[in-house]
Structure 1
Amino acid sequence: MLTPPLSSGAERTDESAIHIGVLVPLTRPGWVEAGRHLLAGVELAVRDVNDAGGTVGRPLELVVRDTAADPQRATAAVDELAGLGVAALVGEYHSVVARAAAARANALGLPFLCASAVLDALTEQPTEWVARLAPPQSRGWQLYADFLLGAGHRRILLAAQASVYWAAGARILRDYLAPRGGTVIELDMGALDPTAACDQLVEHRATALLLLVGFPEPAVSIVKSVRHDPRLTGILIGAPAGQPEFAEWTALLGDDGTAIPFLRYLPERLSPLGVRVETALCERLAQAPSFVAFEGYDTIAVLAEVLRLHGADRARMAEAWPRVAVEGTRGQIQFTRTPGISVWQWAWAPIQVVDRDPAQPDRFRILHAN
């Protein structure tokens, strides 16, 4: 019998249920708010599928595991879930954690539909077992670099911490901006405090500082230091990884957290399905849903269609990625092989550069889009 999940997206039904493993960060140091939104979207979609009679006449049932942003914990969870007989895995927000989960799912022959993680190299080698909804980091961060150039920024400092994800982001920005006249200087935030970072901004005459660091710290301290340094009036603070998306950002930073452009994976207008889902997610979360909640919903929408067409056999499910076409909350979802990307990829996921309006922090302003 399956062990109870940490958080259940559907009530236990019977042994005929199709069990889906869900990986989400629900405790620190994982980004708990992101995990909560991702799980809310997954749970809502499962409810909708089951209310409509399930898939191939069988209900979906979730088995949720908390990754806590720990790659080793995620790997152990994949092993456990595979042993429990789940048909497939969905979820995960943190790229480094998703990479570990994808590697293990590939090794075990377990289909994994990654919801949110963007790291290009999600697996070392091309795989048939893994597909992804979020756009690859290179595509999103190049769009962000286009935004910077269009806004006149040529001297850019990166406040960066050590990780595979941040290093990949820094490389994408440097490789894209340098041929176009941009100068990218990286600051090691493992060696500098926020005050020293402000000094570096002045010394290098930078016009933009990008946060390639964890949240809440040191991101919150860096933003406060820059915002309250009289030498840095007018400096652009950017957060391509999307830290300002969540309500916790505004709760901790208030007005200091506005006008900080970040990447958001939503279209200008949601599909009719998206509008309905947005209303339901608002009720479930008691706040406006983030793009991560829509990613969670769409993973189950896709997986339900895969199951409907090909059943719960793992090998047949993995073979279905290139043949599935689903109307999601943010547009038509289809998977292709994208150059440089090792997994099946939704190639045209919507991307925006947005910020929070200083006059109304709960309102997002679209600054640039694909």
Structure 2
Amino acid sequence: MNTPPAASERTDGSSVRIGALVPLTRPGWVEAGRHLLAGLELAAREVNDAGGIAGRPLELVVRDTAADPQKAAAAVDELAGLGVAALAGEYHSVVARTAAARADALRLPFLCSSAVLDALTEQPTDWVARLAPPQSRGWQLYADFLLRAGHRRIAVATQPTVYWASGTRVLRDSLARRGGAVIELDMSALTPAELCDELAAQGATALLLLVGHPEPAVPIVKAVRRDQRLAEVMLGAPAGQPEFTEWAALLGDHGAAIPFLRYLPERLGPLGARVGTALRERLGGAPSFVAFEGYDTVAVLADVLRSQGAGRARIAGFWPHVAVEGTRGRIQFSRTPGISVWQWAGTPIQVADRDPAEPDTFRILHAGGESTAARPPTI
């Protein structure tokens, strides 16, 4: 008789290890890393409370990437040597791309939680899967929102990175097909005051912040909000900066009414509502979509480990067979044209902002994605 892989695992108390890549120090986005780790840890705790992986505890081996691709590559090498069954996490797209390439080379399964670059790996791979939607899909939805709101002439304050360049390209292509235009303003060459002068001269009706947080995003917002010439210009942040409490703390009322992308359904179902409550307790405040991504990552990996065991090749071979109820919908992976990794195609997407009348409350302005849910969120 063939014994199922999970049943053949040792039950001597040795742990099943998952390597977790998380930005926990600057220049990484520390608050995003804290939320990601909270989700990963909550799911791991629940797995262990339910008996672990065939009687073995699930252990997260956490490494700080600090938004540094080389540090992430070194962490992948270390974690592979420590015998982890798979990798999880990472928030920053450029860092995740380096980690994914290294994981692919080492034949180490990697379930990426948050990074959105379409080209997460240069070549198609069976070793990497992803929960966040590809940038081309999310930012296309954001372009749809801009057009529906009447914006045709869009300025982008940007910095020279692969991530921002990719986002700019998606926006330009999406808008150009429907008569819109994108004006690039290079923030490596402009001060916030000079940016305001350019905006006034160019006649753009919206400015998108494709820049780092808090610098230079926060000074740009303050400068634009205080410039009477730009009173009618809409500010936007498709990368999601306003999702986090640090944004509100630094900008106050200036940080409201700035639409951004977040990867949540319009309403969370029972699982999402329960996890949202637990995350709120763990974080001491409302969880971001990144915390839910962390939870779902471990939920998926635990399900695969239970059915396939801790063998790396078996884990990677199971991506197309995954069917897990996550906090934001049913998670299944497929091949998406132009995407090099196994992709959750049903990731829910919203364009939301902070309500000017109540900056701690989010308004959903536009939504897309395939996931549905049954009751209001409690986040």
TM-score band, normalised by shorter chain? over 0.9
Distance 2:105 2:216 in 1: 36
Structure 1 residue 364 corresponds to structure 2 residue 378: no
Query: CA deviation digits over 1:260-288, x for unaligned, max 9?
Result: 00000000111211111001001100000
Distance 1:183 1:120 in 2: 22
Superposed, 1:1-370 pairs within 5 Å as 16-370=14-368
Distance 1:111 1:83 in 2: 14
1:351 CA drift (Å) = 0.1
Distance 2:49 2:273 in 1: 19
1:309 CA drift (Å) = 1.1
Query: CA deviation digits over 1:12-71, x for unaligned, max 9?
Result: x97621011000000000000000000000000000000000122211001000000000
1:99 CA drift (Å) = 0.2
Aligned length: 358
Q: Which runs of 5+ in 1 are unaligned?
A: 1-12
Name segments (4+ residues, structure 1) moved above 3 Å.
none
Q: Aligned letter for 2:230?
A: L
Distance 2:268 2:101 in 1: 33
Distance 1:338 1:199 in 2: 42
Q: Does the aligned pair in 1 maintain the 2:13–2:55 contact within 8 Å?
A: no
In structure 2, relative to structure 1, the CA distance for the partners of 1:292 and 1:14 (3 Å cut) is: farther
Distance 2:46 2:266 in 1: 25
In structure 2, relative to structure 1, the CA distance for the partners of 1:73 and 1:14 (3 Å cut) is: farther
Q: Does the aligned pair in 1 maintain the 2:12–2:56 contact within 8 Å?
A: no
Q: Aligned letter for 1:320?
A: F
Distance 2:204 2:166 in 1: 21
Distance 1:138 1:195 in 2: 31
SS at the partner of 2:332?
A: strand
Distance 2:196 2:257 in 1: 18
Q: Aligned letter for 2:187?
A: M
Q: Aligned letter for 2:356?
A: P
Distance 2:53 2:271 in 1: 19
1:294 CA drift (Å) = 0.2
Q: Does the aligned pair in 1 maintain the 2:157–2:210 contact within 8 Å?
A: yes
Distance 1:45 1:177 in 2: 40
Distance 2:23 2:359 in 1: 26
Q: Which runs of 5+ in 2 are unaligned?
A: 1-10, 369-379
Q: Does the aligned pair in 1 maintain the 2:221–2:254 contact within 8 Å?
A: yes
SS at the partner of 2:142?
A: helix
1:165 CA drift (Å) = 0.2
Identity of aligned residues (%): 78
Distance 1:41 1:271 in 2: 17
Q: CA RMSD in A?
A: 0.9
Q: Paired residue for 1:9?
A: none
Distance 2:114 2:192 in 1: 29
